[in-house]
Amino acid sequence: MLQAVVNFLEKEGTKISTVERIPEIMETLKSKRDAIQVLDAERRQNIKVITAKKKSKLEALNASTLSLCGVTHSFAHQSKNEELALEMNITKTFLTKSSSTVNLSKCITLFALAEEWQKELAPLGWDEAKMNSHRLLLEETALMITAPREAIVNRSKITNHSYTLIREAVDILKNQLDPLVQQFEAEEPFVVSEYNDIRKSIQYGARSKPEMVEAPLPALPPTEEPDPGSPFS
């Protein structure tokens, strides 16, 4: 949001730098832009880490679930339990073709079904220790997919801080820099015209209406799948 104005001032600023306050404002805007970029990088990194951990944990759970289903299917076939054999005839595609939440739900359902035959599965390689290990993996994956509260709160703080800096920058542009630049309209008409075009495109872009420019910017809601896109670019 600030980059276009800062670029303009760095390119054309010397033509209007006779007003001492304008270079000072430029440095302030650059400082806020840099701070927003740092916060955005931190937000992106947090999302990247959470997404990677969730993916790794879910992949481990799927592998464990397929192993459990395979063993249970073998038992069902041996004991001529056709219904159980059919329910445990599971593929990786079946688990992963939907969202992570649905994927987790399927794993929970399959474990609950297999758990009923825990005693019978022990001689086939899924003893109590392995069942407990799988149960723990289920719990850890569920916590990761539903997003740790701490991570959500941290993302919200970063987003709100960034929006505060954006509001401050917009206020400086509207109430300080705009009036100072307009005084050069007769002396530097092309510079002022370019500045006005930039400011108009920033304030009245495709995502907002003129009457919405001063509206508060809401914090991003947590979602099941973190959005890697930035609200600050």
Instruction: Indicate whether 175 belongs to any domain.
Output: yes
Instruction: Indicate whether 161 belongs to any domain.
Output: yes
Q: Quote the pLDDT of residue 217.
A: 35
Q: Are residues 42 and 153 in the same domain?
A: yes
Q: Are residues 61 and 141 in the same domain?
A: yes
Q: Quote the pLDDT of residue 138.
A: 94
Q: Are residues 29 and 80 in the same domain?
A: no
Q: Check: CB of residue 122 under 8 Å from CB of residue 128.
A: yes
- 46 vs 161: CA distance, rounded Å: 15
Q: Quote the pLDDT of residue 147.
A: 62
Of the three residues 106, 130, 145, the one that is the final residue of a domain is: 145
Instruction: Indicate whether 227 belongs to any domain.
Output: no
Instruction: Indicate whether 118 belongs to any domain.
Output: yes
Residue 1 per-residue DSSP state? -
- 218 vs 183: CA distance, rounded Å: 35
Q: Quote the pLDDT of residue 228.
A: 43
Q: Quote the pLDDT of residue 200.
A: 84
- 18 vs 16: CA distance, rounded Å: 5
Two tokens, residue 198? 């930039």
Q: How many CB atoms lie within 10 A of CB 41?
A: 12
Q: Are residues 134 and 182 in the same domain?
A: no
Two tokens, residue 100? 């992570």
Provide DSSP, 153-200. HHHHHHHHHHHHHHHHHHHHIIIIIHHHHHTTTTTSHHHHHHHHHHHH
Instruction: Indicate whether 124 belongs to any domain.
Output: yes
Q: How many CB atoms lie within 10 A of CB 176?
A: 16
Q: Are residues 58 and 116 in the same domain?
A: yes
pTM over 0.85: no
Q: Check: CB of residue 221 under 8 Å from CB of residue 167.
A: no
- pLDDT in single tens digits along all 233 residues of the chain: 688 888 888 888 888 888 889 999 999 999 999 999 899 888 888 778 888 888 999 999 999 999 999 999 999 999 999 999 999 999 999 999 989 999 999 999 999 999 999 999 999 999 999 999 999 999 999 888 876 556 667 778 888 999 999 999 999 999 999 999 999 999 899 999 999 998 887 553 334 333 333 333 333 333 444 444 444 34
Q: Are residues 153 and 40 in the same domain?
A: yes
Nearest to 173 by CA among 188, 206, 150, 195: 195
The backbone region for 3, taken as left when phi is positive above 0, alpha when psi lies in -120 to 50, beta otherwise, is alpha
Q: Are residues 57 and 25 in the same domain?
A: no
**Residues 6+ positions from 226 with CB-CB distance below 8 Å:** 47, 50, 51
Domain that holds residue 122: 53-145
Q: Are residues 42 and 155 in the same domain?
A: yes
Instruction: Indicate whether 100 belongs to any domain.
Output: yes
Nearest to 140 by CA among 208, 58, 74: 58
